[in-house]
Amino acid sequence: MDAHRKDIHNSELPVLCRACEARHRGVCGALTPSQLVSLNKQSTRKSVEAGTELIGESQESRTYSNIISGVVKLTKMMSDGRQQIVGLQFAPDFLGRPFRIDSGISADAATDVNVCSFPKTVIERMIKEAPELEHRLLEQTLKELDEARDWMLTLGRKTAAEKVASFLYLIATHVNPDAESDSVSFQLPLTRSDIADFLGLTIETVSRQLTKLRKDRVILIVNNRHVEVPDLDALAERASQ
Amino acid sequence: MDAHRKDIHNSELPVLCRACEARHRGVCGALTPSQLVSLNKQSTRKSVEAGTELIGESQESRTYSNIISGVVKLTKMMSDGRQQIVGLQFAPDFLGRPFRIDSGISADAATDVNVCSFPKTVIERMIKEAPELEHRLLEQTLKELDEARDWMLTLGRKTAAEKVASFLYLIATHVNPDAESDSVSFQLPLTRSDIADFLGLTIETVSRQLTKLRKDRVILIVNNRHVEVPDLDALAERASQ
DNA sequence: CTATTGCCTTGACTTTGATCAATCGCGTCT
DNA sequence: AGACGCGATTGATCAAAGTCAAGGCAATAG
Protein backbone atom coordinates (compact mmCIF):
# COMPACT_ATOMS: atom_id res chain seq x y z
CA MET A 1 0.00 0.00 0.00
CA ASP A 2 2.71 2.41 1.04
CA ALA A 3 4.82 1.21 -1.87
CA HIS A 4 2.87 3.56 -4.08
CA ARG A 5 3.97 6.60 -2.23
CA LYS A 6 7.68 6.49 -2.95
CA ASP A 7 8.37 9.10 -0.33
CA ILE A 8 12.08 8.89 -1.00
CA HIS A 9 11.77 10.61 -4.34
CA ASN A 10 10.54 13.81 -2.85
CA SER A 11 11.87 15.70 -5.86
CA GLU A 12 9.16 14.15 -8.03
CA LEU A 13 6.51 15.85 -5.94
CA PRO A 14 5.02 19.26 -6.55
CA VAL A 15 6.73 21.83 -4.36
CA LEU A 16 3.52 22.73 -2.57
CA CYS A 17 2.83 19.10 -1.67
CA ARG A 18 6.26 18.37 -0.24
CA ALA A 19 5.65 20.06 3.08
CA CYS A 20 1.92 19.41 3.16
CA GLU A 21 0.50 17.42 6.02
CA ALA A 22 -2.38 16.23 3.85
CA ARG A 23 0.06 14.15 1.85
CA HIS A 24 1.01 12.23 4.96
CA ARG A 25 -2.00 12.07 7.21
CA GLY A 26 -4.66 13.34 4.78
CA VAL A 27 -6.32 12.02 1.67
CA CYS A 28 -3.47 13.01 -0.67
CA GLY A 29 -1.48 10.20 0.90
CA ALA A 30 -3.49 7.85 -1.28
CA LEU A 31 -2.03 9.27 -4.48
CA THR A 32 1.05 8.35 -6.49
CA PRO A 33 3.59 11.06 -7.27
CA SER A 34 2.30 11.35 -10.83
CA GLN A 35 -1.29 11.67 -9.61
CA LEU A 36 -0.14 14.32 -7.18
CA VAL A 37 1.54 16.23 -9.99
CA SER A 38 -1.61 16.13 -12.08
CA LEU A 39 -3.85 17.09 -9.16
CA ASN A 40 -1.50 19.85 -8.18
CA LYS A 41 -1.87 21.51 -11.58
CA GLN A 42 -5.55 22.03 -10.86
CA SER A 43 -5.27 22.96 -7.23
CA THR A 44 -5.14 26.41 -5.71
CA ARG A 45 -4.07 27.54 -2.27
CA LYS A 46 -6.45 29.97 -0.65
CA SER A 47 -6.23 31.96 2.52
CA VAL A 48 -9.55 32.94 4.09
CA GLU A 49 -10.13 34.95 7.22
CA ALA A 50 -12.16 33.97 10.26
CA GLY A 51 -15.89 34.14 9.67
CA THR A 52 -15.82 33.37 5.95
CA GLU A 53 -18.36 30.85 4.73
CA LEU A 54 -16.63 27.99 2.91
CA ILE A 55 -19.66 25.83 2.14
CA GLY A 56 -23.23 26.90 2.65
CA GLU A 57 -26.66 27.79 1.38
CA SER A 58 -25.42 30.70 -0.64
CA GLN A 59 -23.11 29.27 -3.26
CA GLU A 60 -23.06 25.68 -4.41
CA SER A 61 -19.32 25.26 -4.14
CA ARG A 62 -17.65 23.72 -7.13
CA THR A 63 -14.58 22.58 -5.21
CA TYR A 64 -13.34 20.25 -2.52
CA SER A 65 -10.55 21.32 -0.20
CA ASN A 66 -7.94 20.11 2.20
CA ILE A 67 -7.49 22.19 5.31
CA ILE A 68 -3.84 23.28 5.51
CA SER A 69 -4.14 25.28 8.70
CA GLY A 70 -6.80 26.75 10.94
CA VAL A 71 -10.11 25.46 12.24
CA VAL A 72 -13.38 25.08 10.34
CA LYS A 73 -16.72 24.80 12.11
CA LEU A 74 -19.69 22.87 10.71
CA THR A 75 -22.99 24.40 11.74
CA LYS A 76 -26.64 23.40 11.54
CA MET A 77 -29.31 26.01 11.99
CA MET A 78 -33.02 25.86 12.81
CA SER A 79 -35.52 28.13 11.11
CA ASP A 80 -35.95 30.17 14.28
CA GLY A 81 -32.23 30.91 14.54
CA ARG A 82 -31.13 28.37 17.13
CA GLN A 83 -27.93 26.79 15.96
CA GLN A 84 -25.60 23.95 16.81
CA ILE A 85 -22.02 23.36 15.78
CA VAL A 86 -21.94 19.71 14.72
CA GLY A 87 -18.24 19.35 14.03
CA LEU A 88 -14.85 20.99 14.05
CA GLN A 89 -12.31 20.25 11.37
CA PHE A 90 -8.58 20.66 11.65
CA ALA A 91 -5.67 20.20 9.25
CA PRO A 92 -5.34 17.97 7.30
CA ASP A 93 -9.07 17.16 7.12
CA PHE A 94 -10.83 16.94 3.79
CA LEU A 95 -13.69 19.39 3.28
CA GLY A 96 -16.66 18.47 1.11
CA ARG A 97 -18.75 15.39 0.48
CA PRO A 98 -18.38 13.42 -2.71
CA PHE A 99 -21.51 11.49 -3.77
CA ARG A 100 -23.75 13.00 -1.17
CA ILE A 101 -25.93 16.02 -1.46
CA ASP A 102 -25.80 18.77 1.06
CA SER A 103 -27.57 18.13 4.33
CA GLY A 104 -28.23 21.60 5.65
CA ILE A 105 -24.76 22.02 7.05
CA SER A 106 -22.66 25.10 6.46
CA ALA A 107 -18.90 25.23 6.93
CA ASP A 108 -17.32 28.46 8.16
CA ALA A 109 -13.77 29.41 8.99
CA ALA A 110 -13.65 29.64 12.79
CA THR A 111 -10.12 31.03 12.68
CA ASP A 112 -8.09 32.29 9.74
CA VAL A 113 -7.81 29.27 7.49
CA ASN A 114 -5.59 28.07 4.65
CA VAL A 115 -7.00 25.53 2.24
CA CYS A 116 -5.86 23.70 -0.86
CA SER A 117 -8.83 23.50 -3.25
CA PHE A 118 -9.55 21.23 -6.20
CA PRO A 119 -12.41 21.20 -8.72
CA LYS A 120 -14.99 18.58 -7.76
CA THR A 121 -14.77 16.97 -11.18
CA VAL A 122 -11.06 16.27 -10.81
CA ILE A 123 -11.48 14.61 -7.42
CA GLU A 124 -14.43 12.55 -8.58
CA ARG A 125 -12.45 11.29 -11.57
CA MET A 126 -9.47 10.45 -9.38
CA ILE A 127 -11.63 8.49 -6.98
CA LYS A 128 -12.63 6.21 -9.84
CA GLU A 129 -8.98 5.73 -10.80
CA ALA A 130 -7.63 5.29 -7.27
CA PRO A 131 -9.80 3.18 -4.93
CA GLU A 132 -7.30 3.95 -2.20
CA LEU A 133 -8.55 7.54 -2.28
CA GLU A 134 -12.09 6.40 -1.58
CA HIS A 135 -10.69 4.25 1.20
CA ARG A 136 -9.14 7.32 2.81
CA LEU A 137 -12.41 9.17 2.51
CA LEU A 138 -14.19 6.26 4.21
CA GLU A 139 -11.66 6.35 7.01
CA GLN A 140 -12.04 10.09 7.53
CA THR A 141 -15.82 9.72 7.46
CA LEU A 142 -15.68 6.95 10.05
CA LYS A 143 -13.46 9.17 12.18
CA GLU A 144 -15.96 12.03 11.90
CA LEU A 145 -18.79 9.65 12.76
CA ASP A 146 -16.96 8.54 15.90
CA GLU A 147 -16.36 12.14 16.89
CA ALA A 148 -19.99 13.05 16.25
CA ARG A 149 -21.14 10.18 18.45
CA ASP A 150 -18.70 11.06 21.20
CA TRP A 151 -20.14 14.53 21.12
CA MET A 152 -23.71 13.23 21.24
CA LEU A 153 -22.86 11.70 24.60
CA THR A 154 -21.48 15.05 25.73
CA LEU A 155 -24.55 16.96 24.48
CA GLY A 156 -27.08 14.52 25.84
CA ARG A 157 -25.66 13.45 29.15
CA LYS A 158 -23.01 15.79 30.52
CA THR A 159 -23.56 18.77 32.81
CA ALA A 160 -22.60 22.30 31.76
CA ALA A 161 -19.40 22.03 33.81
CA GLU A 162 -18.46 18.75 32.16
CA LYS A 163 -19.31 20.09 28.73
CA VAL A 164 -17.00 23.08 29.03
CA ALA A 165 -14.20 20.89 30.38
CA SER A 166 -14.80 18.44 27.53
CA PHE A 167 -14.49 21.24 25.00
CA LEU A 168 -11.24 22.51 26.47
CA TYR A 169 -9.91 18.97 26.55
CA LEU A 170 -10.87 18.46 22.91
CA ILE A 171 -9.06 21.60 21.83
CA ALA A 172 -6.04 20.94 24.02
CA THR A 173 -5.56 17.49 22.53
CA HIS A 174 -6.16 18.61 18.92
CA VAL A 175 -4.06 21.74 18.89
CA ASN A 176 -1.00 19.93 20.09
CA PRO A 177 -1.60 16.30 19.13
CA ASP A 178 1.79 15.04 20.24
CA ALA A 179 1.81 16.70 23.64
CA GLU A 180 4.27 14.72 25.74
CA SER A 181 3.97 16.78 28.87
CA ASP A 182 0.70 17.01 30.74
CA SER A 183 0.66 20.81 30.57
CA VAL A 184 -0.60 22.61 27.46
CA SER A 185 -1.02 26.19 26.32
CA PHE A 186 -3.17 27.20 23.37
CA GLN A 187 -5.42 29.73 21.67
CA LEU A 188 -9.13 28.93 21.65
CA PRO A 189 -10.25 28.71 18.03
CA LEU A 190 -13.81 29.70 18.94
CA THR A 191 -15.55 32.70 20.48
CA ARG A 192 -17.69 32.20 23.59
CA SER A 193 -20.72 32.28 21.35
CA ASP A 194 -19.30 29.51 19.16
CA ILE A 195 -18.39 27.47 22.21
CA ALA A 196 -21.96 27.82 23.44
CA ASP A 197 -23.27 26.67 20.06
CA PHE A 198 -20.92 23.71 20.15
CA LEU A 199 -21.96 22.69 23.66
CA GLY A 200 -25.68 23.39 23.46
CA LEU A 201 -25.40 26.08 26.16
CA THR A 202 -25.70 29.85 26.44
CA ILE A 203 -22.66 32.13 26.44
CA GLU A 204 -23.39 33.11 30.04
CA THR A 205 -23.21 29.51 31.19
CA VAL A 206 -19.99 28.95 29.24
CA SER A 207 -18.49 32.05 30.83
CA ARG A 208 -19.52 31.00 34.34
CA GLN A 209 -18.10 27.51 33.92
CA LEU A 210 -14.82 28.87 32.56
CA THR A 211 -14.61 31.17 35.56
CA LYS A 212 -15.25 28.22 37.84
CA LEU A 213 -12.47 26.17 36.21
CA ARG A 214 -10.16 29.16 36.56
CA LYS A 215 -11.01 29.69 40.23
CA ASP A 216 -10.46 25.99 40.86
CA ARG A 217 -7.03 26.32 39.18
CA VAL A 218 -7.81 23.68 36.57
CA ILE A 219 -7.10 26.22 33.84
CA LEU A 220 -5.36 29.57 33.54
CA ILE A 221 -7.07 32.19 31.39
CA VAL A 222 -4.22 34.35 30.13
CA ASN A 223 -6.68 36.41 28.11
CA ASN A 224 -10.06 35.71 26.54
CA ARG A 225 -8.63 33.43 23.90
CA HIS A 226 -5.40 32.18 25.43
CA VAL A 227 -5.75 29.29 27.87
CA GLU A 228 -3.21 27.26 29.78
CA VAL A 229 -3.84 23.82 31.23
CA PRO A 230 -1.24 22.89 33.85
CA ASP A 231 -2.52 19.31 34.19
CA LEU A 232 -4.42 17.68 31.34
CA ASP A 233 -5.46 14.76 33.50
CA ALA A 234 -7.13 17.10 35.97
CA LEU A 235 -9.04 18.63 33.06
CA ALA A 236 -10.03 15.20 31.75
CA GLU A 237 -11.27 14.44 35.25
CA ARG A 238 -13.55 17.49 35.12
CA ALA A 239 -14.79 16.36 31.73
CA SER A 240 -15.57 12.89 33.14
CA GLN A 241 -13.37 11.44 30.42
CA MET B 1 -22.62 0.50 -12.70
CA ASP B 2 -26.01 -1.23 -12.45
CA ALA B 3 -25.07 -3.40 -15.41
CA HIS B 4 -23.22 -5.65 -12.99
CA ARG B 5 -26.34 -6.54 -11.09
CA LYS B 6 -28.25 -8.43 -13.79
CA ASP B 7 -31.41 -8.35 -11.72
CA ILE B 8 -33.28 -10.10 -14.48
CA HIS B 9 -31.56 -13.41 -13.85
CA ASN B 10 -32.99 -13.82 -10.40
CA SER B 11 -32.58 -17.56 -10.67
CA GLU B 12 -28.81 -17.18 -10.47
CA LEU B 13 -29.12 -15.70 -7.01
CA PRO B 14 -29.05 -17.61 -3.75
CA VAL B 15 -32.58 -18.24 -2.53
CA LEU B 16 -32.06 -16.28 0.66
CA CYS B 17 -30.81 -13.22 -1.23
CA ARG B 18 -33.70 -13.06 -3.68
CA ALA B 19 -36.17 -11.48 -1.30
CA CYS B 20 -33.56 -9.62 0.75
CA GLU B 21 -33.80 -5.88 0.95
CA ALA B 22 -30.05 -5.63 1.50
CA ARG B 23 -29.53 -6.74 -2.06
CA HIS B 24 -31.46 -3.74 -3.32
CA ARG B 25 -30.97 -0.91 -0.90
CA GLY B 26 -28.12 -2.37 1.19
CA VAL B 27 -24.49 -3.15 0.60
CA CYS B 28 -25.13 -6.46 -1.15
CA GLY B 29 -26.41 -4.48 -4.10
CA ALA B 30 -22.77 -3.83 -4.93
CA LEU B 31 -22.11 -7.50 -5.66
CA THR B 32 -22.43 -9.55 -8.83
CA PRO B 33 -24.55 -12.71 -8.77
CA SER B 34 -21.46 -14.88 -8.56
CA GLN B 35 -20.08 -12.84 -5.68
CA LEU B 36 -23.43 -13.15 -3.95
CA VAL B 37 -23.36 -16.90 -4.38
CA SER B 38 -19.91 -17.11 -2.86
CA LEU B 39 -20.80 -14.76 -0.01
CA ASN B 40 -24.00 -16.62 0.64
CA LYS B 41 -22.12 -19.87 1.26
CA GLN B 42 -20.43 -18.24 4.22
CA SER B 43 -23.38 -16.33 5.57
CA THR B 44 -25.79 -17.36 8.29
CA ARG B 45 -29.19 -16.00 9.20
CA LYS B 46 -29.67 -15.40 12.89
CA SER B 47 -32.67 -14.42 14.91
CA VAL B 48 -31.95 -12.63 18.18
CA GLU B 49 -34.41 -11.38 20.73
CA ALA B 50 -34.75 -7.86 22.10
CA GLY B 51 -32.03 -6.96 24.56
CA THR B 52 -29.30 -9.17 23.08
CA GLU B 53 -25.91 -7.55 22.69
CA LEU B 54 -24.73 -7.80 19.09
CA ILE B 55 -21.45 -5.91 19.37
CA GLY B 56 -19.89 -4.85 22.63
CA GLU B 57 -17.18 -4.95 25.22
CA SER B 58 -17.76 -8.60 25.98
CA GLN B 59 -16.94 -10.47 22.81
CA GLU B 60 -14.83 -9.20 19.96
CA SER B 61 -17.27 -10.16 17.26
CA ARG B 62 -15.76 -12.00 14.32
CA THR B 63 -18.57 -11.14 11.95
CA TYR B 64 -20.29 -8.32 10.12
CA SER B 65 -24.04 -8.37 9.58
CA ASN B 66 -26.86 -6.96 7.55
CA ILE B 67 -30.02 -6.17 9.47
CA ILE B 68 -32.90 -8.06 7.87
CA SER B 69 -35.60 -6.89 10.23
CA GLY B 70 -35.92 -5.15 13.59
CA VAL B 71 -34.16 -2.20 15.17
CA VAL B 72 -30.64 -2.06 16.61
CA LYS B 73 -29.58 0.65 19.07
CA LEU B 74 -26.02 1.94 19.32
CA THR B 75 -25.15 3.01 22.85
CA LYS B 76 -22.30 4.85 24.51
CA MET B 77 -21.86 4.63 28.24
CA MET B 78 -19.95 6.73 30.78
CA SER B 79 -18.10 5.12 33.66
CA ASP B 80 -20.72 6.31 36.14
CA GLY B 81 -23.54 4.64 34.24
CA ARG B 82 -24.99 7.57 32.33
CA GLN B 83 -25.68 6.46 28.81
CA GLN B 84 -26.65 7.86 25.46
CA ILE B 85 -28.06 6.11 22.42
CA VAL B 86 -26.04 7.51 19.52
CA GLY B 87 -27.81 5.83 16.65
CA LEU B 88 -30.62 3.56 15.59
CA GLN B 89 -30.19 1.12 12.73
CA PHE B 90 -32.95 -0.34 10.62
CA ALA B 91 -33.04 -2.88 7.80
CA PRO B 92 -31.12 -3.06 5.53
CA ASP B 93 -28.31 -1.29 7.37
CA PHE B 94 -24.87 -2.85 7.61
CA LEU B 95 -23.62 -3.58 11.12
CA GLY B 96 -19.91 -3.41 11.91
CA ARG B 97 -17.00 -1.24 10.99
CA PRO B 98 -14.36 -2.46 8.58
CA PHE B 99 -10.92 -0.88 9.02
CA ARG B 100 -11.77 0.92 12.19
CA ILE B 101 -11.33 -0.24 15.70
CA ASP B 102 -14.13 -0.14 18.18
CA SER B 103 -14.91 3.22 19.69
CA GLY B 104 -16.67 2.36 22.91
CA ILE B 105 -19.99 1.77 21.22
CA SER B 106 -22.11 -1.27 21.88
CA ALA B 107 -24.90 -2.46 19.58
CA ASP B 108 -27.94 -4.09 21.11
CA ALA B 109 -31.15 -5.43 19.62
CA ALA B 110 -33.84 -2.93 20.61
CA THR B 111 -36.56 -5.18 19.24
CA ASP B 112 -36.37 -8.79 18.10
CA VAL B 113 -33.93 -8.69 15.22
CA ASN B 114 -33.02 -10.84 12.24
CA VAL B 115 -29.54 -10.49 10.79
CA CYS B 116 -27.51 -12.04 8.01
CA SER B 117 -23.94 -12.49 9.27
CA PHE B 118 -20.64 -12.94 7.42
CA PRO B 119 -17.13 -13.62 8.68
CA LYS B 120 -15.11 -10.42 8.76
CA THR B 121 -12.37 -11.95 6.65
CA VAL B 122 -14.73 -12.69 3.78
CA ILE B 123 -16.09 -9.15 3.69
CA GLU B 124 -12.66 -7.62 3.90
CA ARG B 125 -11.46 -9.74 0.99
CA MET B 126 -14.51 -8.85 -1.07
CA ILE B 127 -13.97 -5.15 -0.44
CA LYS B 128 -10.58 -5.44 -2.08
CA GLU B 129 -12.12 -7.20 -5.08
CA ALA B 130 -15.15 -4.96 -5.44
CA PRO B 131 -14.51 -1.23 -4.94
CA GLU B 132 -18.23 -0.70 -5.41
CA LEU B 133 -18.74 -2.43 -2.06
CA GLU B 134 -16.51 0.10 -0.34
CA HIS B 135 -18.43 2.81 -2.14
CA ARG B 136 -21.67 1.55 -0.60
CA LEU B 137 -20.06 1.49 2.82
CA LEU B 138 -18.93 5.08 2.35
CA GLU B 139 -22.46 6.04 1.40
CA GLN B 140 -23.97 4.35 4.43
CA THR B 141 -21.36 5.95 6.67
CA LEU B 142 -22.13 9.38 5.22
CA LYS B 143 -25.82 8.73 5.82
CA GLU B 144 -25.10 7.78 9.43
CA LEU B 145 -22.95 10.87 9.84
CA ASP B 146 -25.79 13.07 8.56
CA GLU B 147 -28.20 11.39 10.95
CA ALA B 148 -25.78 11.80 13.86
CA ARG B 149 -25.41 15.50 13.11
CA ASP B 150 -29.14 16.00 12.77
CA TRP B 151 -29.47 14.41 16.17
CA MET B 152 -26.76 16.64 17.64
CA LEU B 153 -28.95 19.62 16.80
CA THR B 154 -31.86 17.91 18.53
CA LEU B 155 -29.79 17.07 21.61
CA GLY B 156 -28.12 20.43 21.91
CA ARG B 157 -30.82 22.89 20.97
CA LYS B 158 -34.33 21.47 21.21
CA THR B 159 -36.63 21.53 24.24
CA ALA B 160 -37.89 18.32 25.84
CA ALA B 161 -41.22 18.70 24.02
CA GLU B 162 -39.48 19.12 20.67
CA LYS B 163 -37.15 16.21 21.39
CA VAL B 164 -39.98 13.77 22.04
CA ALA B 165 -41.86 14.96 18.95
CA SER B 166 -38.64 14.62 16.93
CA PHE B 167 -38.20 11.06 18.11
CA LEU B 168 -41.77 10.10 17.18
CA TYR B 169 -41.33 11.75 13.81
CA LEU B 170 -38.09 9.84 13.23
CA ILE B 171 -39.72 6.51 14.01
CA ALA B 172 -42.88 7.31 12.05
CA THR B 173 -40.87 8.12 8.94
CA HIS B 174 -38.53 5.12 9.27
CA VAL B 175 -41.03 2.42 10.10
CA ASN B 176 -43.11 3.15 7.05
CA PRO B 177 -40.70 4.88 4.67
CA ASP B 178 -43.15 5.11 1.78
CA ALA B 179 -46.06 6.53 3.74
CA GLU B 180 -48.32 8.16 1.19
CA SER B 181 -50.96 9.34 3.59
CA ASP B 182 -50.19 11.79 6.34
CA SER B 183 -51.48 9.44 9.04
CA VAL B 184 -49.29 6.64 10.41
CA SER B 185 -49.64 3.87 12.95
CA PHE B 186 -46.67 2.00 14.41
CA GLN B 187 -45.07 0.15 17.30
CA LEU B 188 -42.37 2.03 19.20
CA PRO B 189 -39.14 0.02 18.94
CA LEU B 190 -37.84 1.47 22.23
CA THR B 191 -38.87 1.44 25.87
CA ARG B 192 -39.39 4.76 27.64
CA SER B 193 -35.99 4.28 29.19
CA ASP B 194 -34.38 3.84 25.77
CA ILE B 195 -36.23 6.85 24.44
CA ALA B 196 -34.89 8.88 27.36
CA ASP B 197 -31.36 7.66 26.60
CA PHE B 198 -31.81 8.59 22.97
CA LEU B 199 -33.09 12.08 23.77
CA GLY B 200 -30.83 12.95 26.70
CA LEU B 201 -33.82 13.16 29.06
CA THR B 202 -35.25 11.19 31.98
CA ILE B 203 -38.07 8.70 31.57
CA GLU B 204 -40.36 10.93 33.62
CA THR B 205 -39.89 13.84 31.22
CA VAL B 206 -40.45 11.56 28.21
CA SER B 207 -43.65 10.29 29.78
CA ARG B 208 -44.93 13.77 30.55
CA GLN B 209 -44.24 15.01 27.04
CA LEU B 210 -45.96 11.99 25.50
CA THR B 211 -48.97 12.66 27.69
CA LYS B 212 -48.96 16.26 26.57
CA LEU B 213 -48.86 15.28 22.89
CA ARG B 214 -51.71 12.86 23.54
CA LYS B 215 -53.83 15.46 25.35
CA ASP B 216 -53.20 17.89 22.51
CA ARG B 217 -54.40 15.19 20.09
CA VAL B 218 -51.14 15.22 18.12
CA ILE B 219 -50.76 11.50 18.80
CA LEU B 220 -52.94 8.64 19.96
CA ILE B 221 -51.40 6.22 22.46
CA VAL B 222 -53.18 2.94 21.80
CA ASN B 223 -51.06 1.22 24.40
CA ASN B 224 -47.56 1.79 25.80
CA ARG B 225 -45.89 0.75 22.57
CA HIS B 226 -48.50 1.35 19.91
CA VAL B 227 -48.80 4.93 18.68
CA GLU B 228 -50.92 6.53 15.98
CA VAL B 229 -50.17 9.83 14.33
CA PRO B 230 -53.23 11.25 12.55
CA ASP B 231 -51.29 14.11 10.95
CA LEU B 232 -47.55 13.79 10.38
CA ASP B 233 -47.20 17.47 9.50
CA ALA B 234 -48.66 18.46 12.85
CA LEU B 235 -46.08 16.23 14.54
CA ALA B 236 -43.28 17.71 12.45
CA GLU B 237 -44.50 21.12 13.56
CA ARG B 238 -44.12 20.09 17.22
CA ALA B 239 -40.62 18.83 16.44
CA SER B 240 -39.73 22.20 14.84
CA GLN B 241 -38.78 20.28 11.73
C1' DC C 1 -8.29 61.41 23.78
C1' DT C 2 -12.78 60.11 24.17
C1' DA C 3 -16.62 57.50 22.04
C1' DT C 4 -18.16 53.44 20.12
C1' DT C 5 -18.37 48.67 19.35
C1' DG C 6 -17.85 43.86 20.08
C1' DC C 7 -17.01 40.36 23.24
C1' DC C 8 -17.04 38.78 27.69
C1' DT C 9 -18.28 38.59 32.66
C1' DT C 10 -21.24 38.96 36.61
C1' DG C 11 -25.53 39.30 39.21
C1' DA C 12 -30.64 38.70 40.07
C1' DC C 13 -34.39 36.15 38.89
C1' DT C 14 -37.15 32.60 36.19
C1' DT C 15 -37.99 28.40 33.92
C1' DT C 16 -37.17 23.86 32.49
C1' DG C 17 -36.31 19.50 33.36
C1' DA C 18 -34.36 16.39 37.17
C1' DT C 19 -35.13 14.11 41.40
C1' DC C 20 -37.73 11.76 44.78
C1' DA C 21 -41.75 9.27 45.77
C1' DA C 22 -46.25 7.20 45.25
C1' DT C 23 -49.31 4.73 42.32
C1' DC C 24 -51.15 2.32 38.32
C1' DG C 25 -51.69 -1.38 34.83
C1' DC C 26 -50.56 -5.60 33.25
C1' DG C 27 -48.54 -9.92 32.73
C1' DT C 28 -46.63 -13.88 35.19
C1' DC C 29 -45.60 -17.00 38.85
C1' DT C 30 -47.03 -19.65 42.68
C1' DA D 1 -56.99 -15.57 43.31
C1' DG D 2 -53.37 -13.17 45.20
C1' DA D 3 -48.66 -11.54 45.19
C1' DC D 4 -45.02 -9.91 42.71
C1' DG D 5 -42.24 -7.46 39.30
C1' DC D 6 -41.70 -4.35 35.69
C1' DG D 7 -42.56 -0.46 33.04
C1' DA D 8 -45.07 3.67 32.79
C1' DT D 9 -47.51 7.60 34.73
C1' DT D 10 -48.31 11.37 37.83
C1' DG D 11 -47.37 14.67 41.51
C1' DA D 12 -44.43 17.57 44.62
C1' DT D 13 -40.17 19.64 45.17
C1' DC D 14 -35.50 21.04 43.84
C1' DA D 15 -31.49 22.31 41.22
C1' DA D 16 -29.27 23.47 37.00
C1' DA D 17 -29.22 26.21 33.32
C1' DG D 18 -31.62 30.00 30.83
C1' DT D 19 -33.10 34.82 30.61
C1' DC D 20 -32.73 39.55 31.43
C1' DA D 21 -29.97 43.31 32.61
C1' DA D 22 -25.86 45.89 33.89
C1' DG D 23 -21.17 46.64 33.48
C1' DG D 24 -16.10 45.69 32.25
C1' DC D 25 -12.31 45.44 29.03
C1' DA D 26 -9.81 46.07 24.84
C1' DA D 27 -9.54 47.35 20.17
C1' DT D 28 -10.85 50.63 16.74
C1' DA D 29 -12.91 54.88 14.97
C1' DG D 30 -13.78 59.51 15.05
User: Which has more pLDDT, A129 or A166?
Assistant: A166
Q: What is the per-residue pLDDT for B3?
A: 46
Nearest to A213 by CA among A142, A161, A170: A161
What pLDDT shows up at residue B236? 96
Contacts of B156 in chain A (CB under 8 A): 84, 155, 197, 199-200
What is the Cα–Cα distance from B234 to B217, expressed in whole angstroms?
A: 10
Is residue B32 a contact partner of residue B4, using CB atoms and an 8 Å limit? yes
Question: For B115-136, what is the mean pLDDT?
Answer: 91
pLDDT in tens, A177-191: 666 778 899 999 999
User: Is B120 within 7 A of strand D by CB distance?
Assistant: no
Q: Are A81 and A37 in contact (CB under 8 A)?
A: no
B contact set with A (CB within 8 A): 74, 76, 78-80, 82-84, 86-87, 97, 99-100, 103, 105, 131, 134-135, 137-139, 141-146, 148-153, 155-158, 197, 199-200, 240
List alpha helices for chain B, DSSP H. 15-18, 21-24, 33-41, 120-129, 131-157, 160-175, 192-199, 203-215, 232-238
Is the C-beta atom of B207 closer than 7 angstroms to strand D? yes
Q: What mean pLDDT comes out for the span A193-211?
A: 98
Largest CA distance in chain B: 56
Q: What confidence score (pLDDT) does residue B18 get?
A: 87
Q: Is residue A21 very low, low, confident or very high in pLDDT (cuts 50, 70, 90)?
A: confident
Mean pLDDT rounded to a whole number for chain B: 90
Instruction: Please tell me which residue, B1 or B194, carries the higher pLDDT value.
Output: B194
Half-sphere exposure in the Cβ direction for B18 (13 Å, CA): 9
Q: Smallest Cβ distance to A137: which of B82, B138, B149?
A: B138
Q: Which residues of B touch A82 (CB under 8 A)?
A: 157-158
- Place A211 in a pLDDT band, splitting at 50, 70 and 90: very high
Whether A3 shows a pLDDT value over 70: the answer reads: no
- Measured in angstroms, the CA of B15 and the nearest CA of chain A are apart by 31
Q: Is the pLDDT of residue B50 over 60?
A: yes
Reply yes or no on whether the pLDDT at A6 is more than 60.
no
Percentage of residues in chain B having pLDDT higher than 70: 93
Most confident of A31-35, A51-55, B137-141, B211-215: B211-215
pLDDT given for residue B61 in this prediction: 76
Mean pLDDT over A32-60 rounds to 88
- Predicted confidence at residue A101, as pLDDT, reads 73
Nearest CB to B86: which of A74, A142, A153?
A153
Four-point Cα dihedral B11, B15, B21, B26, nearest 10: -80
- Identify the pLDDT of residue A12: 78
Contact A137, A26 (CB under 8 A): no
CB contact under 8 A, A148 and B149: yes
- The pLDDT of residue A25 is above 50: yes
Q: Which residues of B touch A87 (CB under 8 A)?
A: 149
User: Shortest Cα distance from A11 to chain B (angstroms)?
Assistant: 31
Q: What is the pLDDT of residues B177-212, one digit of tens each?
A: 666 778 899 999 999 999 999 999 999 999 999 999
Nucleotides in chain D with any atom closer than 7 Å to protein CB: 7-12, 16-21, 26
| pLDDT top residue among A160 and B97 | A160
Buried b (16+ CB within 10 A) or exposed e, B159-175: ebbbbbbbbbbbbbbeb
How much of chain B exceeds pLDDT 90, in percent?
A: 70
d(CA B148, CA B142): 10
Asked whether the predicted pLDDT for residue B58 surpasses 80, the reply is no
pLDDT at B1 over 50: no
Q: What is the pLDDT of residues A49-88, one digit of tens each?
A: 999 999 887 666 789 999 999 999 999 999 999 999 999 9
When pLDDT is averaged across residues B39-67 and rounded to a whole number, the result is 87
Give the helix/strand (H/E) hosting B83.
Answer: strand B83-90
Question: Which pLDDT score is estimated for B173?
Answer: 93
Calpha distance A89→A149 (Å, rounded): 15
pLDDT at residue number A239: 98
CB A192 under 7 Å to nucleic chain C = yes
Q: Please write the tens of the pLDDT for every residue from A141-176.
A: 999 999 999 999 999 999 999 999 999 999 999 987
In degrees to the nearest 10, what's the CA dihedral of B89, B92, B95, B98? -130
pLDDT band at B17 (very low <50, low <70, confident <90, very high): confident
| B20 CB burial (10 A radius; 0-12, 13-18, 19+) | buried
pLDDT over 50 at A226, yes or no: yes
Please determine, for residue B102, whether its predicted confidence score (pLDDT) is greater than 80.
Answer: no
Q: How far does B78 lie from chain A, in Å, by closest CA?
A: 8
Q: What is the pLDDT of residue A100?
A: 73
Q: Which amino acid is at B53?
A: E
Q: Do B134 and A139 touch (CB under 8 A)?
A: no
**Residues B94, A46: Cα–Cα separation, whole Å:** 39
Tell me which of A102-116, B16-30, B48-62, B195-209 is least confident. B48-62
Whether the pLDDT of residue B118 is over 80: the answer is yes
Q: Has this prediction a pTM greater than 0.85?
A: yes
Q: Which residues contact B176 (CB under 8 A, 6 or more apart)?
A: B184, B186
Across the range B106-128, mean pLDDT stands at: 93
What number is the average pLDDT over the span B217-241? 96
Residue A196 is predicted with a pLDDT of 98
User: Residue A57: its pLDDT value, please?
Assistant: 73
Segment of A22-31, B117-126, B231-240 carrying the highest mean pLDDT: B231-240
- Calpha distance B170→B232 (Å, rounded): 11
Please say whether the beta carbons of B48 and B54 come within 8 A: yes
State the smallest CA–CA distance between residue B89 and chain A in angstroms.
Answer: 14
pLDDT at B130: 86
Nearest CA in chain A to B200: A156
Rounded Cα gap, residues B53 and B107, in angstroms: 6
DSSP state of A108: E
